[in-house]
Amino acid sequence: MSDSVPNEVSVNINGAEVRAKAGEMLIAAADRAGVHIPRFCYHERMSSVGMCRMCLVDVDTGRGPMLQPSCMVPVAEGMSVDTQSEDTKRAQEGILEFLLVNHPLDCPVCDKGGECPLQDQTMAYGPGESRFVEEKRHYEKPIPISDLVHLDRERCILCDRCTRFADEIAGDPLIHFTERGNSTQVLTFPDEPFSSYFSGNTVQICPVGALTAAPYRFKARPWDLDQVESTCTTCSMGCRTAVQSSRNELVRYLGVDIESVNHGWLCDKGRFNFEATNSEERLTVPLIRDPNDERQLLGSDWGSALANAAEAILDAGSDGIGIIGGSRLTNEDAYAWSKLARSIIRTDNLDAQLGDGLPAELVHSLPPATIADACEADTVLVVGPDLKEELAILHLRLRGAATKGHTKVVEINAAPSGCEPYVERAIRCGSGEAAKYLGEILNSDDDLATRLREGSVVAVVGRSSMAESDHSSIAVAALIRDELPHATFLTALRRGNVRGALDMGLAPGVLPGRTAIDNPSSALDDIWGYTPSMKGLDTTGMLQAAAEGKIRTLVLLGADPLSDFPDRNLAAEAIQRAETVISLDNFLTASSAQADIILPTTAYGEQGGTTTNLEGRISRLTQKITPPGSVRDDWMIATELAWRLGGDLNLTSKEQIWREIEQVAPSHAGVTVERIMSEEAREGILVQESSVEYIFPSVQEPPIADGYGLRLISGRKLWDASTTTSMSPSLRPLAEAPVLKVHPTDLQRLGILSGSDVRVISTRSTENLKAVADESLERGTALLPFNQPGFGANRFIDATAAVNDIRIETL
Amino acid sequence: MSFFSDENTRLAEEIIKRYPKARSAMIPLLHLAQEQEGWVTEAAMAEIAELVGTSSAEVLGTCSFYEMFKREPVGKYLINICTTMSCALMGAADLMQHAEKALGVKSGGTTEDGMFTLEGAECQAACTEAPCLQVNYRHRYRVTADEFDAMLAELSTPDPGVPEHGVLSQIRQHIPEKNTVGALPPEEVNAPPVWLNTEEDQS
């Protein structure tokens, strides 16, 4: 053929010529050509198995038409396909009649009824009646296969979607077909529940009502649901979601398939934490500390609460104020607070990160990579947190790239991580010594060194452990930048819109649009009128200043330093010593409960705007429900405070705020409201420009641990005591009590039995904890999750130390 | 506590070495587990999963697919009476009824003394010898009621010549080290399999 393109073939589908990629399955080619072939088992993000036979179509490759499953037949040049032939229709009727032999047809009481592919396709392609009169299969229904997912085996049509997902995508093959023939059923191993972090996806892809999610069961009917498309802000991945509500209450999130980020998958935390928005515990009115009784909080009105807040801010003066937090905020809210702080309060003491991230200038100055870059790179170098726990969908994408693609994932970490099953190499380093280990590899004749130097490299860099300072991550970034100049970076910052907050200048020394404080754009100068010239304090600095009495008013923008700042002692001292603590929050957290003025704010699903993910991808948030009580958006509170402080932010709506951002933020120039509202924004608008330079500080190697101490390693778990998890009734029980993991030899040496309580001593605190032996750890280290119910590792950590050591003793 | 006895653990490791991918050893190991206990326990499946590097659910999936892996205790002697066409025509139903009466259990049951389990089975490929049955998968042909009773008496003697349920012979074959495939996955095996190498034999 004259117009043939390499790797492309021409197929005739229902009389129309369709260009298809060589090797792609017929059903995929038909989908792109707008021809729908009914299916149950086929899923575009998983391998084909030809399980359900619903996609049989007439395929003619020159030997006459034959019925073939279109999900198993690769396209071939000259293939002629009829998806509506008489034979196809008869096949479809036959398959549906068979699928319904054992299906209970309990649609009226089934959660899936109304959005069920089996129901819909039976209506569209089914025979209308069945010839089967025999008794159907019976099973106990439903059985919980995990805390979140229920399984009704009677409804199951054995399409292999959930089991394939569990094995192929999630890497947790905890559900499997068991038995054979007529008794085939999906089951878990007895007493080994389907406790995957991604179990909720199986509910979404189940083509019948066999798998239902505990938090959604019997909550609503699909035809009662209202839906908008939005972006998840549980972590900084920015997965695309469909947010569904019924009677002004969030009832379900679904993953939306976008190529650049989540491929349709969500982690269970992001999928089910809508319960927190609906929580009874939400703050609905402003609270003020009772002047007569320090222990009491009194309900108040916005007028007096804001007046008190403004007074405290004025009192403290520019140098006496510190603003901590902001990664819960939308970009617009963050901008409003950045503008309030700098142009009206005239301070640069503001930081969206809680001493658990990386310096904003570093984040802005590293050459950026996208998630897609990482999934196509020759090598992904992970030197950061356990991605499975902290950025679960990034873990899923990297796992996919490593198991299906050519990408090799190499991890350098002080403790074992959830990525180990698919990494090519897991290099165990001492806590805080990742750079040293990486340097040694790069200067050796290791194959890896050659590959890193010659192939494409994406480095995922973040804080490996909360018990070590950010110096170890900075050293790693410096080393990679110097030794591997072609490498690009993904910064593994964890909190929702942390990247957006940094982009909007919620960090000392950086202004909106990724510019340094001494280099404001002329538009920013014009509109803001004033910007501080000196770089302010970061969170650690602010807390230290507050503890010393130098900062008198602390503003917590959705921040809970007592739980999240690595050093609880310092946070507690700061909150205690500060004369006024103003908290903008959804809930009474450990920190906001101690505040003097508490301003309730809108939560996820109650606000529109934009959010930015860890790549710098801006996507839209959509409001779905009206907020409870008199809560307000964070930007509104900023404008109100500005007015009470004698200024005016001139901000009137989220849209208008974005227009101003687009004007003043050089990196965001051209990202207009119109673009954000357009279809293009579904994939997110990638912003990668930055003019910020980072001067790498000289970093010292951490001190060697003494023979008696154990080096503390502490990372976060997906199920922890974070606010949204603990405020979601279905998720709260999933967070386990903390245990200290230690190498068995270290326990033996101290005469401690695995599973017994021990006394843990650090320079900061002495506490009793359960210690368990774990052979996968290095000797001389101790692993403690950062924030589990009832106990946070931050009691032991000194934020100013490079690394933290603990000692353990028998009780 | 590990499930496999020390000797069987050694054997399991040897069996795993016979395959390029450890997971391929799943079925032989299930046989080994069944030999040790007479049936496949949950502890066995969990341990096999660990040995071959997969999840217990996957081992359960494989194990439950095969009728001959028993996931509940069975008697010392498993009696399968064929109930398929030829045998049915030649009196399998009568034989089954007799067997049920003689053993005092229904089809699928195990006698109280743990000696016998009675099962109906599909065709055993001995249609010319109908009705037939198997005792621990060893054929008995043209079985009459009297012969069945005689067989029970014979099986109740101390050494009836039929090994207990689960006993294997194939699994214990010794494969010389040089003939094992080794732990290399197929894509990394460049040399032809040792058993294809005939030169050595000719010399």
Q: pLDDT tens digit string along A235-289?
A: 999 999 999 999 999 999 999 999 999 999 999 999 999 999 999 999 999 999 9
Give chain A positions within 8 Å (CB) of B67: 180
> Are B60 and A176 in contact (CB < 8 Å)?
yes
Hey, which CATH number is domain B77-155, 3.40.50.300, 3.40.30.10, 3.40.50.1820, 3.30.420.10? 3.40.30.10
> Residue A6 has what pLDDT?
80
Using alpha carbons, select from A492, A456, A455 the residue that is nearest to residue A615: A492
DSSP string of A478-489, one letter each residue: HHHHHH-TT-EE
Question: Mean pLDDT, to the nearest integer, of B145-164?
Answer: 93
Q: What is B44-110 written as a DSSP string?
A: HHHHHHHHHTS-HHHHHHHHHH-TTS-SS---SEEEEEE-SHHHHHTTHHHHHHHHHHHHTS-TT-B
Q: Tell me, what amino acid is at A788?
A: Q
3-state secondary structure (DSSP) of residue A524 = helix
Q: Three-state SS across A622-671?
A: CCCCCCCCCCECHHHHHHHHHHHCCCCCCCCCHHHHHHHHHHHCHHHCCC
In angstroms, rounded to a whole number, what is the distance separating the alpha carbons of residues A511 and B167? 76
**In sequence order, which ranges of A26-168 are alpha helices (DSSP H)?**
26-32, 86-99, 117-125, 161-164
Q: For A388-440, give the secondary structure using H, E and C.
A: HHHCHHHHHHHHHHHHHCCCEEEEEECCCCCCCCCCCEEEECCCCCHHHHHHH
Please report the sign of the dihedral spanned by the C-alpha atoms of residue A233, residue A236, residue A238, residue A242.
negative
Q: Check residue A601 and report its DSSP letter.
A: B
Q: Is the pLDDT of residue A796 over 70?
A: yes
Residues of A in Cβ contact (< 8 Å) with B55: 172-174, 176, 189, 192
Q: Report yes or no: B197 at the A interface, CB cutoff 8 Å.
A: no
- Residue A470 — left, alpha, or beta (φ > 0 → left; ψ -120 to 50 → alpha)? alpha
What separation in angstroms does the CA of B156 have from each of A182, A776, B116, B150, B164? 36, 52, 10, 10, 12
Domain boundaries, chain B: 1-71, 77-155
Per-residue confidence at B19, pLDDT binned at 50, 70, 90? confident
- Contact yes or no for B57 and A179 at CB 8 A: no
Q: Across-strand partners of A69?
A: A56
Contacts of B58 in chain A (CB under 8 A): 167, 173, 176
Q: Superfamily assignment of B1-71 in CATH?
A: NADH-quinone oxidoreductase subunit E (1.10.10.1590)
Residue matched to tokens 């928005």: A277
Minimal CA separation from B164 to chain A, in Å = 25
Q: Cβ distance B171 to B25 under 8 Å? A: no
B56 neighbourhood in chain A, CB within 8 Å? 189, 192
Q: Which residues pair with A56 in a beta bridge?
A: A69
Amino acid at A385: P
Tokens of A503: 């982009």
Please indicate if any CB of chain B lies within 8 Å of the CB of A190. yes
Looking at residue A189, the DSSP 8-state letter turns out to be B
Whole-number pLDDT of residue A703:
85
Give the other-Cβ count within 10 Å of A334's Cβ: 34
Give A155 to chain B, closest Cα distance, Å. Answer: 19
The per-residue pLDDT for B1 is 62
Q: Is B42 on the interface with A (CB under 8 A)?
A: yes
Contact B56 A192 (CB under 8 A): yes
Chain B contact set for A189 (CB, 8 A): 42, 45-46, 55-57, 59-60
- A558 Ramachandran zone, left/alpha/beta (phi>0; psi -120 to 50): left
Average pLDDT over residues A168-189: 96
Using one digit for the tens of pLDDT, what is the confidence trace for A488-542?
999 999 999 999 999 999 999 999 999 999 999 999 999 999 999 999 999 999 9
Overall average pLDDT of the A55-67 stretch: 95
pLDDT at B167: 83
Cα gap A748→A734, rounded to integer Å: 31
CA A410 to centroid of chain Cα atoms: 21
Residue A2: what pLDDT? 42
Rounded to the nearest angstrom, the minimum Cα separation between B7 and chain A is 25
**If we measure between CA atoms, which residue out of A552, A564, A145, A163 comes closest to residue A353?**
A564
pLDDT of amino acid A401: 97
pLDDT in tens, A83-127: 999 999 999 999 999 999 999 999 999 999 999 999 999 999 999
Burial state string for A715-741 with b = 16 or more CB within 10 A and e = fewer than 16: bbbbbbbbbbbbbbebbeebbeebbbb
Pair A214, A593: CB distance under 8 Å: no
**pLDDT tens digit sequence for A224-247:** 999 999 999 999 999 999 999 999
Å between A518 CA and nearest CA of chain B: 57
Encoded tokens for A221: 């009917």
Structural contact between residues A67 and A80, judged by C-beta atoms closer than 8 angstroms: no
- pLDDT value at A291 more than 50: yes
- Residue A339's nearest CA partner among A637, A684, A61 is A637
| Confidence band for A393, pLDDT divided at 50, 70 and 90 | very high
Largest CA distance in chain A: 92
Find out whether B147 and B91 touch, Cβ atoms under 8 Å: no
**Chain A touched by B122 (CB under 8 Å):** no
Average pLDDT, chain A: 95
ipTM confidence score: 0.89
Average pLDDT on A774-782 reads: 94
Domains of chain A: 8-99 (3.10.20.740), 287-357+498-686 (3.40.50.740), 361-491 (3.40.228.10), 710-810 (2.40.40.20)
Q: Would you say A748 and A806 are in contact if contact means Cβ atoms under 8 Å apart?
A: no
Contact of A196 with chain B, judged by CB distance below 8 Å, is answered with no
Between the alpha carbon of residue A111 and those of residues A107, A166, A221, A414, A415, the distances in Å are 8, 22, 7, 45, 42
Tokens of A236: 């900084």
Tell me the three state secondary structure of residue A721. Answer: coil
Phi-psi region of A732 (alpha: psi -120 to 50; beta: other; left: phi over 0): alpha
CB contact (8 A) between residue A176 and residue B65? no
Mean pLDDT of all residues in chain B?
88
Which among B55, B56, B61 has CB closest to A177?
A: B61
pLDDT for the residue B203: 43
| Contact present, A615 and A503 (Cβ < 8 Å) | no
Query: Which residue of chain B is at minimal alpha-carbon distance from A182?
Result: B65
How far is the CA of A500 from the CAs of A229, A507, A564, A567, in angstroms?
A: 19, 11, 19, 25
* Cβ of residue A76 closer than 8 Å to a chain B Cβ: no
CA of B1 to nearest chain A CA: how many angstroms apart? Answer: 16
Q: How far is A782 from chain B (nearest CA, A)?
A: 25
Identify all chain B residues contacting A188, using CB atoms and an 8 Å cutoff: 57
A406-452 pLDDT tens trace: 999 999 999 999 999 999 999 999 999 999 999 999 999 999 999 99
DSSP state letters, A309-351: HHHHHHHH-GGGEEEEE-TTS-HHHHHHHHHIIIIII----EE
Could you tell me if A67 and A121 are in contact, meaning their C-beta atoms sit under 8 angstroms apart? no
Percent of chain A with pLDDT over 90: 96
CA trace torsion A397, A402, A407, A413 (10° rounding): 90
Tell me if chain A has a CB within 8 Å of the CB of B185: no
Q: Which of A584-588, A699-703, A771-775, B49-53 has the lowest mean pLDDT?
A: A699-703
Which residue is it, tokens 């957290």?
A: A589
